[in-house]
Structure 1
Amino acid sequence: MDALEAQVKQDTDLRLYKMKNQKRKDVWYFARLTPKDQFGPVLDRDLTNEHGGSAICLLCSTTMTFRIGKHKMVEHMNGKHADELEIYRVRYNLVVTAGGGIRMQRVARRLDSELMDAACLDNIVHVRTITPKEQRQVNKLLARWVARHFRPMIIVEDEAFKEFVFYITHELGRVSMVLPNRSQLRNDIVALAVYYRKLVKEAILRFCVFYSLTSDIWTGGDGHSYISLTIHFLTDAFELRSWTLEVQELPGIHDGAAIAAALNKMSEEWGLSKEYCTKLVRDGGTNMVSAADTLAIPTMACVAHSLRLVVAGAMIKKKKTIDQPEELPAWAAEVSKESAEPIMEHEEDEQLSREDRDQMDTLRDLAVDEMETYLNDTIVNLGRNETNAVRGVVQRFRTLACYFRKSPKGQNRLAECQVRARGIKRSDALRVQVDCPTRWNSCWDMLQRLIVLEDSLVRFFAHVRSPPGRVEFAGMEDKLWWPKASDWLTIKCLTTLLIPFGAATAALSGQQYPTMPLVVPILNSIRKHLSRTDLFAELVAVAGDEAFVAETLVMMNDCRRFILNLFDKRFTIFENSELVWVAYLDPRIGKRMSYLSECSRQGQRQSCPSCSSTDASSRMLRGALTPDTSPEHTPDPISNDRKLPKRSFWA
């Protein structure tokens, strides 16, 4: 205990001495007295119990008022350090008497050496109680972790979590701290949010002059609608800043006036002046357009969102209606018997509560509704037949992917087929993916994975129709859809058709570099890709001279023209907007826009605000807009700049 006592003296700067005439030696072995201030001159050897003003626990530094016969050290030790007391009594063969004292046991001890080593008091180390300042920092860090990663606040009352914290603090760190309860944690999170809002407001006031906004509206599974507001701006050092400022409930009818009022209120709360808003990026809804017009803010539709709408006609799942609810696949009843708990169709739903799963289903249905509405409003019936056939093939492959997702037996057999077909280890077998309407590019990923697994799937269906397979998959032979060669050719052509859409969505969704200069080059490249009449020539050549090849080629070319038609209707306005000179001004992009005619270049020079003056800086900008055709003066800035995506199909 001498080492513990010395450590406590150093930590607390208190004068400590042992209690005289101890009734509970086990308790006072771990505790000391401190004298009252008026007895400072008294020597340590002369201090008695009457001189004591307080008592301190050497194990946790807890202090309490002390008077002879009136103190709570025994209660404290029994409540907080019962294990240490028991170790002491075992070592010295002591027991507590009925009167509250302590005496030697009459029965001789019989303890093996391992127990004695574990009970050795020399191994007891002082545990320090953290200071109030340290406790506040602990609460703050815990609140930040829970809020940032969306942890449930009840986690602080979880016994396993408390055991984990106790081990790393008390056992390893030798410090004692108190975990906040849910109510305290909630208050800490609110205080943290207030603090961060203050920091963001100060940063906007200090660094932001001109800014752009993005906003979206959605409906949760509880039927409540919400609106968000995110700000984007560049600092004086050209550092990109983006913060989601608000997510608020938006009750009532979502017309342009209501949306404008909500956006205006949120902007005023953050001190944002509309005069300095350069652009509001939104979805393609007429209500958002009306809101921007009401606020007199320049606006544009989200390009990545618009790309998603263009390809929706050939890829989205069938919309559920009251008259025609979604039908269960023929294999659903058999698959439900394979596991005690039903397997979720979407892997990301596995960790969600039932309420959150219902909300995700609502969001997926809303995404399908939005794409259906766009197609109906834009095309009516023109060209829908060409994509309905392709959409039907995609839906059948989607149902097949769902089967392998939900059937452990089917998934295991497909993995075995991969081992034989692809010559891989069992642990390297790929899993079939299921698309999600709210995740862009997920349908393309699903089809691409199925194409990779084509040979393995052929082996799987051959096994199902074999005698052993009819036993293993009894009753499933006629319930599973077997893709034909024409179906495989269809999705191969479709993924080829949509390759640039996936790359464009990924590039335009970047947050570490400016995406606006990329818009026009990307759109131009997609148009050239969709305009290729020989786009499917290589796939058709590999497929051979079967009768279905010519029919599939006609269908896919009709689909290509349909998507090109949608693309033109949606994006012509972008390619004739200020986005052209925005791209042209960026030397990393402008020098590669070789498809622009000289007339177009001259027009962009005239429309660029910075290039209409005659000062030296504007002449320099006009020079930047003139492509240098000499190879030695054409650097490769895109590949050298880490802030831009690598050169791709648009370069």
Structure 2
Amino acid sequence: MERTKGSVIWRYFNLTTPTSATAICNGCKVSVARGGGSTSKYNTTNLIKHLQKHHAKEHEEFQQLNRSKGTSGDGGSTQLTLAETLQRREKIPNNSVKAMKITDKVLEFIVLDGLPMSSVEKLGFQRLMDHLEPRYNIPSRKYFSETALQEKFKKSCELLSKEIKDIDFLSFTTDIWSSEVCPMSLLSLTVHWFDTHMTPRSAALQAKNFPGSHNSDRISAAIKAMLDEWNIPLNKVHVILRDNARNMEAAMVKMGVRSLGCFAHTLQLVVNEGLLSQRSVSDAVANGRSIVKHFKKSPLAYSELQGIQVQMQMQPKRLQQDVRTRWNSTYLMIQSLLEQKRVLGAYVADFDLPTTLTTNQWGLLEKTSVVLEPFEELTRKISSSTASTADVIPAITVLKRILSREGEADAGIRTMKKTLLDAVNRRFVNTEQEPLYSIATVLDPRYKDRYFRSEAFAVHAKDALLRELQERELSTTAEESTETLQPAEKAPRREAETAPEQEAEAGAAAPRKSFMEEFEQMQECEDEGAASSSSAEGQLNAYLTEKTIAASDNPYHYWNVNKHRLPVLAATARKYLCAPCTSVESERLFSTVSNIVDEKRNRLTAERAEMLVFLTKNLSLQLN
């Protein structure tokens, strides 16, 4: 049998005669059996195996040639045409639809995983892309950072702008962040609203470079410029959540917008002033912090601690380090110390610690943990993405009830609870008089008027809500009246186009028809007038007389279901319940920034950092 025409294997072997039972390897001159018992059954399987075993480089070359020719391994009849072979070798144009989609997904991969743009030049990434799509030509790092990133950023801005364009009221959070690895300060602005299905939505608007002094004039001017850049007028700003710093509060006043301090920050002050600042407690916490820091800095010490945990048949667990500006992290540190109390006692018997906790201090930490538990639970609740200003008054009421409650189990912590209660009363003394809180609370179907400390405050909140409803109703009625008058401009033209015969017929029938229509119209106007004068109050009364929904139910789903039955109330709920009660979203935004601007990328410009963080937070708005 003659050797198969077009088979790539014969580049590496020769035959002494066309019917030889063996082939001579060009590399090692070894004779390799061609397989089969006769010339009709000869094949190239043994030859390929020989290359694979003894000549790895030639075998790799053989496979590449084989793939490019499109033949089977044994030189079968799957050979491609010349056009098909050239097409397989040809790279996809960078401006083709497929290449552009791949480039877009590569950029998303880099942005969402917080990777540097240089990732596209790494060998591992290039080998992966070559395996997935050999015809794709990976653009340069410069293209991704200077072209693709800006195009993606622009597209995302357009989508977000379109999303919030027709929203009547928007709420915002803002904060200032300074980097620890480079001289960069950013001013953030996040936006919050409801979509048509009353689903809470939020997005990062900007994280703008903010060098220099952080005084109120510069802050107000910068935030106003951000709103102007997004074409958001001040009358659409429902409220801005900020921290409790005086410069921030003054900046909002100068802008002429309503603002609220971060509820979580105020809780931080309550816990610090009411408990952690007490000398005996702060000393116990400081000793605990010193113990945790010892294990954090010494891998050997932690290894010994882990060994004791295993001996005591406990799950190996690290001690939690706290951050002094986060009281809940201090609570978690205390919890971790209490969990490892027996382990730490065994550790001290054999090893040294920089300090130890006395029996009295262990008791203080246990009491502190019990007292702070409801604070920690409420902090987690108000820091969720679905929390709103409606949660503030109920949270304060629950805290006061817990701290005021006395029982046998509270004997050792009465002083702690009283100190915290005094701090809560002092810090939140005017909360129920703030309409942004009180109206939102009444509009939440889980709370309504149940959580106010007195009937007078509940009545005040309901009256404020009723005034808001009546103003909205009047505004809506005026808009509808204006729209109703618009078609009247076309009447003269229709009359001019009417034939004389039709005019005569219409004139003959006009008196009786006009009388009936006038009577019906008068009746409808009377009915509508009666309804409009009481509809806002009627909707509010109907809503308040209904039973509250369960605390675990979704209040936004309630309003989506009842928006046609209680339209004025639902529209007002859309305005008030879109406001978060903390500035946590801005802080989460800066957590993303700190992951982007790190030690390895400390030369990143503020403008580039803003684009990256904007895309990281807002890519979920992309529709494709």
Same fold, judged at TM 0.5 (above): yes
Match of 1:346 in 2: none
TM-aligned CA deviation for residue 514 of structure 1:
4.5
* 1:304-315 mapped onto 2 (5 Å cutoff): 304-313=264-273
- State the superposition RMSD in angstroms: 3.3
Give, in whole Å, the separation in 1 of the partners of 2:234 and 2:548: 39
Give, in whole Å, the separation in 2 of the partners of 1:253 and 1:414: 47
Match of 2:167 in 1: 208
Structure 1 contact 304–504 (Cα < 8 Å) conserved: no
Match of 1:624 in 2: 543
Give, in whole Å, the separation in 1 of the partners of 2:171 and 2:555: 23
* 1:367-382 mapped onto 2 (5 Å cutoff): none
Structure 1 contact 218–227 (Cα < 8 Å) conserved: yes
* 1:346-495 mapped onto 2 (5 Å cutoff): 387-421=278-312, 423-424=313-314, 428-437=315-324, 441-462=328-349, 464=350, 473=351, 476=352, 479-495=353-369
Which letter does structure 1 place at the counterpart of 2:137? V
The 1:88–1:262 alpha-carbon spacing in structure 2 relative to 1, beyond 3 Å, is farther
Which letter does structure 2 place at the counterpart of 1:496? V
Say if 2:92 is the partner of 1:130: yes
Match of 1:597 in 2: 454
Structure 2 contact 170–193 (Cα < 8 Å) conserved: yes
Which letter does structure 1 place at the counterpart of 2:227? S
Match of 2:554 in 1: 641
Structure 1 contact 146–152 (Cα < 8 Å) conserved: yes
Structure 1 contact 585–624 (Cα < 8 Å) conserved: no
Which letter does structure 1 place at the counterpart of 2:249? V
The 1:177–1:450 alpha-carbon spacing in structure 2 relative to 1, beyond 3 Å, is same
Structure 1 contact 232–240 (Cα < 8 Å) conserved: yes
User: Using CA pairs below 8 Å that are at least 6 residues apart, which structure has the higher relative contact order?
Assistant: 2
Match of 2:561 in 1: none
Give, in whole Å, the separation in 2 of the partners of 1:142 and 1:277: 37
Give, in whole Å, the separation in 2 of the partners of 1:116 and 1:420: 56
Q: Deviations over 1:407-456 (max 9, x none)?
A: 233223322322343x34xxx32221212346662221121111111122
Runs of 4+ aligned structure 1 residues displaced above 6 Å come to none
Give, in whole Å, the separation in 1 of the partners of 2:249 and 2:406: 36
* 1:136-285 mapped onto 2 (5 Å cutoff): 136-169=100-133, 175-186=134-145, 187-205=147-165, 207-221=166-180, 222-285=182-245
Which letter does structure 2 place at the counterpart of 1:213? F
TM-aligned CA deviation for residue 313 of structure 1:
4.4
Give, in whole Å, the separation in 1 of the partners of 2:444 and 2:176: 32
Structure 1 contact 314–390 (Cα < 8 Å) conserved: no
Match of 2:404 in 1: 531
The 1:408–1:605 alpha-carbon spacing in structure 2 relative to 1, beyond 3 Å, is same
Say if 2:446 is the partner of 1:588: yes
The equivalent position to 2:263 in structure 1, one of 303, 311, 321, is: 303
Structure 1 contact 292–299 (Cα < 8 Å) conserved: yes
Structure 2 contact 309–316 (Cα < 8 Å) conserved: yes
Percent identical among aligned pairs is: 22
Give, in whole Å, the separation in 1 of the partners of 2:376 and 2:15: 76
Structure 2 contact 391–441 (Cα < 8 Å) conserved: yes
Structure 2 contact 470–536 (Cα < 8 Å) conserved: no
Structure 1 contact 228–246 (Cα < 8 Å) conserved: yes
Structure 2 contact 287–356 (Cα < 8 Å) conserved: no
SS of the counterpart of 2:198?
A: coil
Give, in whole Å, the separation in 2 of the partners of 1:587 and 1:188: 46
Give, in whole Å, the separation in 1 of the partners of 2:27 and 2:414: 100
109-118 vs 576-585, greater mean Cα deviation = 109-118
Structure 2: which 5+ residue stretches go unaligned? 17-24, 33-45, 53-58, 79-84, 472-532, 558-624
SS of the counterpart of 1:587?
A: coil
Q: Deviations over 1:64-87 (max 9, x none)?
A: xxxxxxxxxxxxxxxxxxxxx8x6
SS of the counterpart of 1:201?
A: helix
TM-aligned CA deviation for residue 400 of structure 1:
0.7
Give, in whole Å, the separation in 1 of the partners of 2:138 and 2:364: 59
Which letter does structure 1 place at the counterpart of 2:463? Q
Which letter does structure 2 place at the counterpart of 1:458? G
Give, in whole Å, the separation in 2 of the partners of 1:210 and 1:259: 22
Using the size of structure 2 for normalisation, the TM-score is 0.64
Q: Deviations over 1:509-550 (max 9, x none)?
A: 121x3422111100111122233455xx5376xxxxxxxxxx
TM-aligned CA deviation for residue 214 of structure 1:
0.9
Q: Deviations over 1:299-343 (max 9, x none)?
A: 110111221232234787xxxxxxxxxxxxxxxxxxxxxxxxxxx
SS of the counterpart of 1:263?
A: helix
Structure 1: which 5+ residue stretches go unaligned? 1-27, 31-84, 95-103, 170-174, 317-383, 465-472, 541-552, 629-633, 645-651
Match of 2:12 in 1: 90
SS of the counterpart of 1:431?
A: coil
Structure 2 contact 252–258 (Cα < 8 Å) conserved: yes
TM-aligned CA deviation for residue 617 of structure 1:
3.9
Match of 1:544 in 2: none
